[in-house]
Amino acid sequence: MEFLFELLFQFFGELLLQFLVEVGFEQGLRWLGRVLRWVPTPPIAAAWVTLGGVAAGGFSLLVMPHSAIHDPALRLVNLLGTPVLSGAAMTLIGRLRVRKGQSLVRLDRFGYAFLFAFTMALMRYNWAA
């Protein structure tokens, strides 16, 4: 039972880290969209989201240099599973925004949110001790 609790806590910690960073990045994109009034094309948006994920992953390594998950096999599961969950959560936030009549940014869609979370997770997978 203790092992299961520890395992869930490790995954939840990584998921929470990614989700909070992604929500912060989404708020930054929302602010930037209001200031610049520029809507990038999908390939340019994907490139910016990828670079944002890499930057967020690098920054998260400065803040939290050690991975919460120590088992290499579980870290691989985290690399694939956490971005899916984070992307799904951002999609739900996007649906809530639509119901409230708010405009969406690209990160409110699953593909872009997954791309951001995956590149951030990949940075942490490769370089977190």
pLDDT tens column, 66-85: 888 888 998 999 999 999 99
> What pLDDT, on a 0 to 100 scale, did the predictor assign at position 32?
84
Reported as a pLDDT band with limits 50, 70 and 90, residue 15 is confident
> Does the pLDDT at position 11 exceed 90?
no
Is the pTM above the cut of 0.85?
Answer: yes
Distances (CA, A) of 104 to 12, 29, 40, 92: 27, 10, 13, 12
Mean pLDDT over residues 33-58, rounded? Answer: 90
Reported as a pLDDT band with limits 50, 70 and 90, residue 90 is very high
**Rounded mean pLDDT, 48-75:** 91
Look at residue 39 in the predicted model and tell me its pLDDT. 79
Q: Is the pLDDT of residue 55 over 90?
A: yes
Candidates 8, 7, 19; CA nearest to 116 is 19
Q: What is the mean pLDDT of the chain?
A: 90
**pLDDT category, 1, cuts 50, 70, 90?**
low
Residue 22, pLDDT > 70, answer yes
Helices (H), 37-127: 42-63, 72-99, 110-127
